[in-house]
């Protein structure tokens, strides 16, 4: 999977979560925390990461990641680097 494909997986999952909202994942600021945006909370974040890992087959390493970074689309992309 290349970066664009991974991005689409992320968008796909987020759009399902944002179904009731008027926003779409494509229009989100990729640097802003999804928790700050109110799209997910801490527990929803766990769900999101496990689904991402399952779909991409990549295990993310959060040990040295900063929550400020990894809760945003750009942060997740960094951790999911193919």
Residue ranges in contact with another protein by CB under 8 A: 33, 35-36, 40-44, 46-47, 49-50, 59, 61-68, 70-71
Which has the closest alpha carbon to 60: 38, 48, 68?
48
State the Cα–Cα distance between residues 76 and 62, nearest whole angstrom.
Answer: 10
CB of 4 to another protein, least distance (A): 25
CB of 68 to another protein, least distance (A): 6
* Beta-carbon contacts of residue 36 (< 8 Å; ≥ 6 apart): 71
Closer residue to another protein, CB minimum distance, 22 or 61? 61
CB of 22 to another protein, least distance (A): 21
Which has the closest alpha carbon to 38: 53, 28, 50?
28
Closer residue to another protein, CB minimum distance, 65 or 77? 65
């Amino acid at each position: 999977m290349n970066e664009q494909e991974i991005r689409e997986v992320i968008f796909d999952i987020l759009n399902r979560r944002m179904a009731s909202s008027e926003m779409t994942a494509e229009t989100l600021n990729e640097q802003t925390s999804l928790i700050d945006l109110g799209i997910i909370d801490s527990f929803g974040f766990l769900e999101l990461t496990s689904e991402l890992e399952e779909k991409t087959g990549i295990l993310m390493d959060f040990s040295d990641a900063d929550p400020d970074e990894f809760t945003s689309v750009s942060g997740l992309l960094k951790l999911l680097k193919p």
